[in-house]
Structure 1
Amino acid sequence: MSGKILQVEGVSFSYGPIQALDDVNLHVDQGEIVALLGANGAGKTTMLNNIAGLLQPSSGKISYRDKDITSWEAEKIVHDRLILVPEHRQVFSTMSVLDNLLLGSYHHYKKTGKKEVNKEIDKVFNLFPILEERKEQLAGTLSGGQQQMLAIARAIMAKPDLLLLDEPSLGLAPLIVKEVLDYVQQLRDAFGVTILLIEQNVSASLKIADRGYVMSHGTIVQEGRAKDLLHNPEVKEIFLGHTVS
C-alpha cells in the first residue's frame, strides 16, 4: 500500500434541518478494502454520495489522490476514476449485458480504443463468467445476483482507482451474498482496485475488509482493523443492533 487515496476531513451535511453527517473523518489507503458499517439511517450512503459528488458537503474537505474534490461535479470525479456503484444496482434494464458494459467505458472509450475496451470486457468476463453467457440478454431479465455482478462489472469498465460500493448484497439470498462479496475481494487482486464498501452483512464484510469504520447518527463512533471490529462487543450490540457471528 502506498499512502492515502481518499481522505475525508470534518465533513458535515444536512438535508434541510436534518443533520445527516456530523464532522466525519475517515481515510482509505491505496490497495485497501475498507468497510463502512452502521444501522440503517446512520449516514453511510450520504457519505458515499458526498464523496462521489452527488451531494456537496456543508463543511469539511474531501481529498482524492491528494486533490481537493469537495466541490467537484460527479462527472469530473468519474473521469478521475472514482466510481460509485449505487444501492439497488440501477442497471440499464432494456439494454443487453454487453451494452451495459460498453456504457461503463463511455468516458474513456475514444481515448482507450475499441481493441483495449474489448480486452477489458474479456477480463470482466473472466471474473464474471455468467455475464459472458448472458451477454446478449437484456439486463432487466437477469436475476438479482446477476444484476449486481453486472453493476460491479460496469463500474470496472470505467477503470476505477477507487470503487465505492453501496450495499452490493441488498436483497440477495444468503448464498448469493457470499458469492458477490467473494467477487468484491477478487476485484482488488484482478484489477488493483481500492474499495470503500457499505454492507449490511457485517460479518461477511469485515471478513474481506482490511479496516472498518462504524457510523451512528451521522458520525464515526468506532474504527479499527476489521478483525478487531468483528469481535468488538460494542460494535456487535450497540451500534449495529445485533450480534455478529
Structure 2
Amino acid sequence: MNERILEVKNVSFSYGPIQALDHVNFHVERGEIVALLGANGAGKTTILKNISGLLRPSKGEIFYKNEDISKVDAEKIVEKQLIQVPEHRQVFSTMTVQDNLYLGAYHHHKKTGKKEITRDIERVFELFPILEERKEQLGGTLSGGQQQMLAIARAVMAKPELLLLDEPSLGLAPLIVKEVLQYVKKLNEDFGVTVLLIEQNVAASLKIADRGYVMSHGSIVKEGTSIDLLNDKEVKEAFLGHTIT
C-alpha cells in the first residue's frame, strides 16, 4: 500500500450559518496528482484553506504525513512543506520576479543557506525559462500566464512535499492553460512533488491527474481514477458539456 501523505477525515466547516463542508473524506498518496472537481460553491477552496491552516475545521481531522494538522497554524504548516498556491495567483506585484522567488524560500532560508537557494532558483528557471528572461521585471507587469508560473515557481522555492493548487488556469487563454498544466505534470514527475489540484478545466486536469474526487454542496459525491471520471456519464454531463443518450 502506498503512503498516504494527506488524509482528510470527516471534516466539516461553516461560515456562520452556512454549512460549507459536510463530513468531507478523501486522501492523497505520495507521488500522485489528485484532482478535486466541482461547481463553484461546492467547497473546494474551503477545503484547501482548511488543509493549509487558513481556516480551522469545526469537526473532523486532517492528517499530513500521519500528523493531525487541523489545529496547526498556517505558518507552521508551511514549515512542514505543505504549500498552497492560492486562487488569483497573488504574486507580489511591486517586487521583481527574482525577489518573489527568494520570498518563497523565506521559511527555510536560514537553514538552507544562500548557495542552495541560488541553486533552487536556477532549477526553477530551468522549469520556467520565461521567468529567467523576466527575472528583473516587476511581478505585477507580467502577463496572467507568467504570473501563474511565478506563483507556482514561488511555491516550489518553499520545497513542497505536497502542493495545493487552486484554479491555476483561472482567466487564462486555452493554450496557456495547457502549458501551465504541463508544468504541473513536470513538477510531479521531475521534482517529485505530490499535487492536490482544483481546476475549472475538468478535462485538462483529469488528463494529468491520477485520480479525482467530485464535490457537491460541501461533500464528496464521487471518486475514481481519472479515466473512470472522464468516462463517467454524470461527470460528462455536469462538467464536460456532453449529453449522453
Report TM bin, short chain: over 0.9
* CA deviation string 1:16-69 (max 9, x = no partner): 111100000000000000000000000000000000000000100000000000
Compute the displacement of 1:125 (Å): 0.3
Give me the whole-angstrom Cα distance separating, in 2, the residues matched to 1:87 and 1:221: 23
Give me the whole-angstrom Cα distance separating, in 2, the residues matched to 1:64 and 1:18: 27
Residue in 2 aligned with 1:181? 181
The amino acid that maps onto 2:241 is H
1:78-157 aligned within 5 A? 78-157=78-157
* CA deviation string 1:85-105 (max 9, x = no partner): 000000000000000000000
Give me the whole-angstrom Cα distance separating, in 2, the residues matched to 1:71 and 1:191: 29
Give me the whole-angstrom Cα distance separating, in 2, the residues matched to 1:55 and 1:242: 33
Give me the whole-angstrom Cα distance separating, in 1, the residues matched to 2:157 and 2:190: 13
Residue in 2 aligned with 1:44? 44
The amino acid that maps onto 2:74 is A
Q: What's the C-alpha RMSD, in Å, of the aligned pairs?
A: 1.1
**Quick one: structure 1 residues 241 and 41, their matched pair in 2 at CA, closer, same or farther if it must change by over 3 Å?**
farther
* CA deviation string 1:189-223 (max 9, x = no partner): 22110000000000000000000000000000100
The amino acid that maps onto 1:49 is K
1:209-228 aligned within 5 A? 209-228=209-228
The amino acid that maps onto 1:126 is E
Residue in 1 aligned with 2:242? 243
* CA deviation string 1:84-140 (max 9, x = no partner): 000000000000000000000000001000000000000000000000000000000
Q: Contact conserved, 2:202 with 2:240, CA < 8 A, in 1?
A: no
Residue in 2 aligned with 1:24? 24
The amino acid that maps onto 2:148 is Q
SS of residue paired to 2:25: strand
Give me the whole-angstrom Cα distance separating, in 2, the residues matched to 1:113 and 1:214: 41
Give me the whole-angstrom Cα distance separating, in 1, the residues matched to 2:200 and 2:2: 29
Give me the whole-angstrom Cα distance separating, in 2, the residues matched to 1:41 and 1:243: 22
Q: Contact conserved, 2:85 with 2:165, CA < 8 A, in 1?
A: yes
Residue in 2 aligned with 1:6? 6
Give me the whole-angstrom Cα distance separating, in 2, the residues matched to 1:237 and 1:42: 17
Residue in 2 aligned with 1:205? 205
Give me the whole-angstrom Cα distance separating, in 1, the residues matched to 2:23 and 2:7: 13
Matched residue count: 243
Residue in 2 aligned with 1:71? 71
Give me the whole-angstrom Cα distance separating, in 2, the residues matched to 1:235 and 1:73: 35
Q: Percent identity?
A: 73
Give me the whole-angstrom Cα distance separating, in 2, the residues matched to 1:104 and 1:243: 41
Q: Contact conserved, 2:203 with 2:240, CA < 8 A, in 1?
A: no
Give me the whole-angstrom Cα distance separating, in 2, the residues matched to 1:36 and 1:243: 20
SS of residue paired to 1:125: helix
- Give ranges in structure 2 of 5+ residues lacking alignment: none
Give me the whole-angstrom Cα distance separating, in 1, the residues matched to 2:27 and 2:107: 27
SS of residue paired to 1:168: coil
Q: TM-score, normalised by structure 1?
A: 0.97
SS of residue paired to 2:123: helix
Compute the displacement of 1:236 (Å): 1.9
Give me the whole-angstrom Cα distance separating, in 2, the residues matched to 1:218 and 1:2: 27
SS of residue paired to 1:71: coil
SS of residue paired to 2:91: coil
Give me the whole-angstrom Cα distance separating, in 1, the residues matched to 2:8 and 2:159: 22
